[in-house]
Structure 1
Amino acid sequence: MKTMHDYKQKGYMRRLKDSSDTLASLMGVLIRFRERPIAVSDDIREMFHQVKVRLADQPALKFLWRDGDSSRFPETYVMQVMTFGASCSPALANYVKNRNAERFVAEQPDAVKAICENTFVDDWLQSVDTGAEMIQLAATVKRIHASGGFEMRRWTSNSKQVIQALEDDCEELDKRIRAQDEPQETVLGLWWLPGQDLLTFLGLLGFFNIRAKIILRNIWRSNIGWDDDLTNEDEADWQHWLDLVSNLNAVRITRCMKWVSRTQAAQMHTFVDASMNAYAAVVFLRAELDGQVHCCLVASKTRVAPLKPVSIPRMELMAAVLGLRLAKCIQKEVSVRIHRRTFWTDSKDVLYWIRSDARKFQQLVALRIGEILEESDVDSWRWVPSAQNVADDGTKWTKTPEIHGSTSVPDLQRFSKLEKLRAVQLCVLDSLRNITKKVRLDGGLDLQKTLLLKRSNEMDVIFIRICQEEEFYNDSGILRIKGRIDNIEGVEVCVKRPIILPRRHQLTYLLVEFHHRRYHHLHNEIVVNELRQRYWACGLRALVREVSNTCPACRIRRTRPKPPGMGDLPIERLSHYTPPFTFTGVDYFGPYNIVVRRREKRWDVLFTCLTVRAVNLDIATSLSTDSYLCVLKSFVARSCCPRRMLSDNGTNFRGASRDHMGGSWERMVRSTKSILSEILPASGLRKEVLRAALAGVESVLNSRPLTYVPLVI
């Protein structure tokens, strides 16, 4: 009779010691399971019931039995074997298993090591390099377990040769080698597809699980009761997260860490990152063989930020410690030698702290810096841009995270230019050609055609397919718009039937931006015309204008300097109800060559009213102060005595000790000189002619209207 008893939950066996720390590390078993090409898994049939309990210890396993009748007086029974539910059962059964294996350590050291290190409770997971090696090792392990009364069953492997050598029942064999469309095999909490040698729903989905932890923390922080309804925001976030869970079925991760067991220089690269909500660490193994490099994801770890507010630099430091501990744990568990460890962070504060004296910082920072310096080298810590930090996915969770399996198409959102996208896609296809020796023709014809693409502009076919599948839910081919010129000859299909592109997709933006630069950032209509020869998109002309308006080169070219604002007019320019020339500005201009007996120079002096802009013109014989004072006396005698005079502070004016403000009279000087240039002779100018010309200019300027006078008809 096999009965499941949860003694620990019911409180019957609280005094039994939990010795789960004597078991092999679950992470270590899973990591070593991924190291080599040929893998196998199995479990021991009813392992706990194969371990008998001594008569003296059986009273500790007492239980009451009513046989389903609550009115019946319970009878007392004892378990004579280890039972499920007892906290000590896994450790004791593991101890008996290992003691049984240690009897053969001298004869079969490899098999004993495999049993002790790669068995978690009753599940044995092992990976080796060849099928023959696995057959021999598995047969030895099976024989050692059988000598202790443990029966191994449910053999599963990615090698049909191994299964045929281990299983006698052909019907059971068909269940172990599964096709691609059959259910997965459960192995220590993860799903394994032996036929494709892929893992799914692994603990590597930390970037997805962290969002649920953040939501639960926010709910806890809101202080609502157990029976209270969630807030609208928390309920929406939780429902959105649940809707994305179904997408996890598409995740596929290669079980075997390629070349890790064959390379002589395996490298471990750890990426760390933090935000206000969480901090995360991701570990990759890098293997290089015959000039080719392969990187594989090993493990990830995410944690929610503390309830107490912590600054971002300190969160980044906590992420660095988390990454260091994760890398240390993985290095301890892997069986291959790690040649070099490298830690990557996008926080320059952390790099500065690591390279500084820890004693000058506060305790939280100092203790973590001390741990980092004790367990790693300073030179192993490096900086990486945030855009290239893969740990960023675990800390900055978006509303639409990328949850999908392996893909041969780069993320279009990470590119700003079409040429770079084409180049990256070409590198991806080159890699696929190298690792794909033979393309399967049963359902793989599209892949075969894709691998034959060579030119960069041919990469657009792949992007267009992805674009239309995302926006139009189309999987039947490239969508085209139907026209009326199908009978035309000598033109491409794209001209007859242009390809349909969504207005707001990143690919459409990249195509428009590429043609905008191709035609030198000018003539939007040319860009529209060239695009419409191959593509059709709603609002294309508006999109071209948008690209042109946001183009940095176009914005720089169209930029015009902004003139500075003009200052307020001085009080002298705004004094109404005052006689002309109450506030006067004065300036010299010239000289003009006049003929007396010989050629002499004369300067014109301009007096202008700062309020009504009237002018008074006179002639000065020199630039001296005495000459100016004579002209000033003449002006006062003919007009009036100004209350205040302003000049440009020339040396001839300093004797009058006046202020400087020349914008007003400089404009009048320009108007005067413009008229004089039209009426004065080119040579032989006499003083009388100059004086008469100044009088005429004065009359013209003073006859101007003070403001615009519209004609009323």
Structure 2
Amino acid sequence: MTVHVFGAISSPTSCIFALNRTADDHRSQFPDVADSVRRNFYVDNYLDSFDSEDEVIQRSRQMKSLLQLGGFNLTKWTSSSRTVIAVLREFVLASPALDLDLDKLPVERTLGVMWDSKRDMLTFKIRKPPNNVTLTKRAFLSIISSVYDPLGLVAPVIFTMKSLLQDIWTNEERIGWDDVVPEILSQRFHCWYDHTQQHLHVFTDASSKGHGAVAYFRTVFEDQSVNVSFVMSKTHVTPVQGLTIPRLELQVVVEGLNITLTICRELEIDLRQGYRPKGCDELIYFHRGPSFLNLDPAEYTWEEITEPEERDVNVIRVLAVKTEDENHVIDRCVVRFSSLLRLQQVLAWSKRFANNTRAKLRDEKPMVGELTELVFAEELYALRKNLELQLRSKLRTFRPFLDEVGLMRIGGRILQAPIDYAAMHPILLPASQLLTKRIIWDHHVRHMNVKTERLLTDLRARFWILFGRKVVKSFINNCWPCKRTSAKPSPPLMASLPVHRLTPHLTACTYTGIDYFGPLTVRVGGRGRRHEKRWVSLFTCLTTRAVHLEVANGLSMEKFLLCFSRFVSLRRKPKVVYSDNGTNFVAAEQELRQALEELTSKHDELPTVMACQQIEWHFSAPHGPHFGGVWERIVQSCKQAMKTSIGNCLVTDQVLRTVIAEVAALLNARPLTHLSVDPEDPDPLTPNHFLYGGARPYLPLQLADVEDMNDNRNSNSGGEVTKLSATYIQV
């Protein structure tokens, strides 16, 4: 064996065996090192400690020499001594790019435990879920399992969490793996995790020269020792124009708040309250923070901030006036009247009474003009001042302009088109205004509840509604008359399929469905031609979907039995038959049963044989054609094929039988499974596979040339058959 399998169950055992065998084979050369191999190796990790640096260097070289004799090359060396690491550079270090003069010694993972090689100390890292993630039993178990402590160095800490996990597991609420842990148990976890109290303190101050803010972390450990660490600071020089001290104080408070929010966001901590000291001067005092942070919070000195006097503040009073009227007369009228015609009449008479004008009775200009004033105020101002519209304006792409009466219309490049001016430059309307909906409703009703495309076309002859298609479609979807006329009944839930539709591994036509369709008119006779009716008897296999068609001269029981006999002779005798509750089917079933009883009563040896050949007949419920969907779908395909082939032509009986035979061949060649686009996939399954054992694709015969049949006086039948042969039919 020259290759070691990685990841197999036997891999650790094989690795340890190979190491021990190497140590035993060369024990005579390296006796002490061989014992270290057997004692201090854990799979592929070697961990050992020595009293002096010279001993470490000597043992490292001996260990590498011994294992090289067995084909093992030790790499990723590290040590807590920089001198040892400098000597071991001749081997492959764990951190090859380590700068011994500038870089810190790395923290390596040893046997699943973090080893700080600089302090020569084992450390453990406990992962805490993010603040926005709820604590579940699954997350809690993951946190406990992430701590690997084979020697029990942090057993007291882990024991507390194991006890909490037991309480979660035995909780009376039966907490699931992804259920949120109750608040009481969650608090116990946070109290255990946050064993240290860490607070963020932000200090601000301002003067006539400048202002600034500085942030510190104050940490209180379990032994009540306090540590203060600097986080960040910001300073600003007072502006040249000068500001009052209260205003500078407010600005520096805002700066302190921004620092606080930045630190809390980046470190994902909660916001704590701050304390305002008297000041800080020296740089060392600035880095270490105020000395009172080492005291208990109860010993802090508080300083109250008084309100500034009126004379120290420059008071600027601003009077703001809102020019837009929320209760505009147009809006009130649109809300009051639901009919656009009535709204036009009221506004026209109101305008005429107020301004003594000649406004037409049904003119939209007064309404639309004031509507655009309310919605497109900025665009109208720019157009009246001959200014360019802003880049953020929704109307910029429409190149709008104002006509002679002040209405906003769509621009364009079709000025020379011989169409109406209103259709060439329609009026712009906002999408969300109630007046727009009134205009849409008026056109919708006047055009007899037309659909989206027609209604939008009629509207754009005069108006251009922003997002018009979306607005019109939403309006039609909420129109109750349209909902009533276009409503479709909910399809009923179909029952389970009968067992005879699902029984596999049987010969085709073992379970058969029967139906009739027609009548079809044919011409018969020579000189004294007459017309007669024919029907088609359809037999379909309920499992393989194979089709057999027979032409019946009538709907009587005798005619059906003849068709049934031909079907049995060509295919096979079915065991179970399903059909509609037609009178001919009921009579045929009774006739077959009566004939069978008479036959078995006359011959003594037949009852046993015929008992195995009886046909079980099932009738659909009266007036329930949906029970026969399996053959109704085939009837539709047959009618479609016959309509494509002979259409409304009056054919002879012989031609009809030929067409029926070719339609049956066409249906039996249809695919039952998905037709793949991959040429390497197998051919789709067809009913012919069950009937003949192969695909047997439908290939119609060319009986004669069409030109020759046109010259033949008696070629009508052949021409009609050729038409079917030359036609592609989709079923």
What's the TM-score, normalizing by structure 2?
0.30
Higher relative contact order, structure no. (Cα contacts within 8 Å, ≥ 6 residues apart)? 1
Larger radius of gyration: 2
What's the TM-score, normalizing by structure 1?
0.31
